[in-house]
């Protein structure tokens, strides 16, 4: 290693440590900030985004040109691209988050003891959140705003692809914080794309990051899950299942399967596998496959699926554990709800699964047997979303079982403390 490289490494370590210390100090101030002050900051941020639209779009242009020079593809460019409509949506989203209830200070539970002690469990901020994301520049404002709403400081590390766009949006967030008299260090963005900055965050910045939320592709999530020494809220992938039970209404099964698979194929709540109860194979399998193929979906199936439609491509074992994120679905017969649950446990990703049935007892069995963050009955897996759950904005969906599970909104970014009120009690 050359001296220059060593120096750079040291510089980044120092820079990141300093960001961590400043975030912790800002978090202590934010924890005491009033709802009105946080909402004023969010409103000022939205105003600043609208005022600085031209400047943000110029920065976005720089990112887009660099991406084109690297020969980047269409879907990627679309995620990166901002325009006036998208920036207005960013501003509106800040206002939506301002309109959410403030979770901090919420009394989750309270009770009185026989000795007169009154005990309450009260929501508090978590502290400092680290967000590591890739190309979408709007994560800058969504994540920054949700962390602010929940009283947390945040350290944002955007991808090199959206470097200029994210910094331009971040400047507007700074302006909003300052206008509301809140510390600018409450929302910091890492000013370098060096990967050592990510490594430092994953080590937790000397205890100054309490949780990390990665947003992006499977490669990023896997790296964060493997290397992080602090808790992580994430899902590696969404291999979501639709299980059509023998007591399913066929029309409902068709409508939900098509919606779950095809409404948007690129989101984590999109279905990837259709399981059909063999007890209704004769009546349900062929029409379901026909509907999917008719809607332009490629079907990869087991022997039974292949037997009912010659357009079905033979599925390999890999198909059962593949997140296509495309108009492709794997189809398999199973032997009732227990076998469906077994398949899901073996190949799923603990994200979202739905059962279609008119039999409530079978639905209850599905709910009990399937250990996923979200289990549904007679509804499309594409509802797996914080907004659709009524939680307002979400920072992501977690498939782990610790602390947050399912959509991660402002409430899931909080901890709690016990508040005990006495009148002089001593313990006998």
Residue 282 tokens read as 């004769």
Within positions 366 to 405, which residues make up the interface with a copy of itself, using CB under 8 A? Answer: 367-369, 371-380, 382-383, 388-390, 401-403, 405
Establish if 336 lies at the interface with a copy of itself (CB under 8 A).
no
* Smallest gap from residue 105 Cβ to a copy of itself (A): 9
CA-based R_g, the chain, Å: 24
* Smallest gap from residue 26 Cβ to a copy of itself (A): 14
Establish if 29 lies at the interface with a copy of itself (CB under 8 A).
no
Please identify, using beta-carbon distances, which residue of 361 and 368 lies nearer to a copy of itself: 368
Question: Residue 34's CB: how many other CB atoms inside 10 A?
Answer: 11
Please identify, using beta-carbon distances, which residue of 193 and 425 lies nearer to a copy of itself: 425
Establish if 361 lies at the interface with a copy of itself (CB under 8 A).
no
| Bridge partner list, 314 | 301
Establish if 338 lies at the interface with a copy of itself (CB under 8 A).
no
Burial (CB < 10 A; 0-12, 13-18, 19+), residue 114, is: exposed
Residue with tokens 């979303």: 385
Please identify, using beta-carbon distances, which residue of 7 and 417 lies nearer to a copy of itself: 417
Establish if 96 lies at the interface with a copy of itself (CB under 8 A).
no
Cα atoms in the 13 Å half-sphere on the side-chain side of 173: 33
| φ, ψ of residue 73 in degrees (nearest 5) | -85, 170
Establish if 271 lies at the interface with a copy of itself (CB under 8 A).
no
Binding test (CB under 8 A) with a copy of itself, winner from 68, 255, 289, 333: 255
Distances (CA, A) of 204 to 143, 193, 211, 219, 408: 18, 18, 8, 20, 20
Establish if 2 lies at the interface with a copy of itself (CB under 8 A).
no
Please identify, using beta-carbon distances, which residue of 71 and 428 lies nearer to a copy of itself: 428
Residue with tokens 């920065």: 59
Residue 333 tokens read as 């017969």
| φ, ψ of residue 173 in degrees (nearest 5) | -65, -40
* Smallest gap from residue 58 Cβ to a copy of itself (A): 35
Say if CB 269 and CB 387 are below 8 A apart: no
Binding test (CB under 8 A) with a copy of itself, winner from 67, 169, 177, 211: 211
Binding test (CB under 8 A) with a copy of itself, winner from 31, 47, 66, 77: 31
Per-position x/- string for 98-117, each x denoting binding to a copy of itself as judged by CB under 8 A, each - no binding: -------------x-x---x
**CA–CA separation, 79 vs 348, rounded Å?**
27
Output DSSP code: residue 285.
Answer: I
Binding residues (CB under 8 A) for a copy of itself: these are 28, 31-32, 111, 113, 117, 119, 122, 124, 126-127, 210-211, 231, 249, 252, 255-256, 258-260, 263, 345, 363, 367-369, 371-380, 382-383, 388-390, 401-403, 405-406, 415-427
């Amino acid at each position: 290693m050359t001296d220059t490289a060593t120096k750079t490494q040291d510089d980044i370590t120092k820079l990141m440590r300093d960001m961590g210390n400043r975030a912790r100090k800002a978090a202590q101030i934010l924890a005491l900030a009033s709802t009105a002050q946080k909402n004023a900051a969010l409103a000022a941020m939205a105003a600043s985004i609208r005022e600085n639209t031209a400047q943000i779009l110029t920065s976005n242009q720089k990112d887009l040109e660099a991406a084109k020079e690297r020969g980047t593809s269409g879907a990627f460019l679309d995620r990166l691209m901002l325009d006036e409509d998208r920036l207005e949506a960013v501003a509106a989203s800040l206002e939506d988050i301002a309109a959410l209830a403030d979770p901090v200070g919420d009394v989750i539970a309270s009770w009185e003891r026989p000795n007169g002690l009154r005990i309450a469990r009260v929501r508090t901020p978590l502290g400092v959140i680290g967000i590591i994301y890739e190309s979408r520049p709007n994560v800058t404002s969504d994540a920054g705003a949700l962390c602010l709403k929940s009283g947390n400081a945040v350290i944002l590390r955007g991808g090199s692809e959206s470097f200029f766009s994210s910094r331009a949006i971040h400047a507007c967030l700074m302006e909003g914080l300052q206008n509301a008299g809140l510390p600018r260090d409450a929302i910091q963005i890492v000013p370098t794309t060096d990967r050592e900055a990510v490594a430092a965050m994953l080590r937790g910045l000397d205890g100054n990051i309490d949780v990390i939320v990665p947003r992006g592709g499977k490669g990023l999530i896997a790296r964060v899950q493997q290397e992080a020494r602090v808790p992580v809220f994430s899902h590696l992938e969404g291999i979501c299942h639709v299980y059509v039970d023998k007591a399913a209404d066929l029309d409902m099964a068709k409508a939900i399967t098509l919606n779950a698979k095809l409404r948007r194929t690129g989101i984590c709540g999109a279905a990837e596998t259709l399981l059909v109860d063999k007890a209704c194979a004769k009546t349900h399998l062929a029409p379901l496959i026909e509907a999917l193929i008719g809607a332009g979906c490629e079907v990869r199936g087991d022997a039974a699926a292949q037997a009912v439609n010659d357009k079905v491509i033979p599925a390999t074992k890999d198909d059962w554990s593949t997140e296509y994120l495309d108009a492709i679905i794997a189809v398999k017969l199973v032997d009732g709800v227990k076998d469906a649950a077994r398949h899901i446990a073996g190949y799923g990703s603990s994200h979202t699964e739905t059962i279609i049935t008119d039999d409530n007892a079978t639905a209850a069995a599905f709910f009990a047997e399937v250990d996923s963050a979200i289990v549904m009955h007679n509804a499309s897996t594409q509802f797996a979303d914080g907004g659709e759950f009524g939680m307002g904005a979400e920072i992501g969906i977690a498939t782990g079982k610790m602390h947050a599970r399912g959509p991660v909104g402002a409430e899931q970014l909080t901890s709690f403390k016990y508040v005990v009120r006495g009148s002089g009690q001593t313990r006998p």
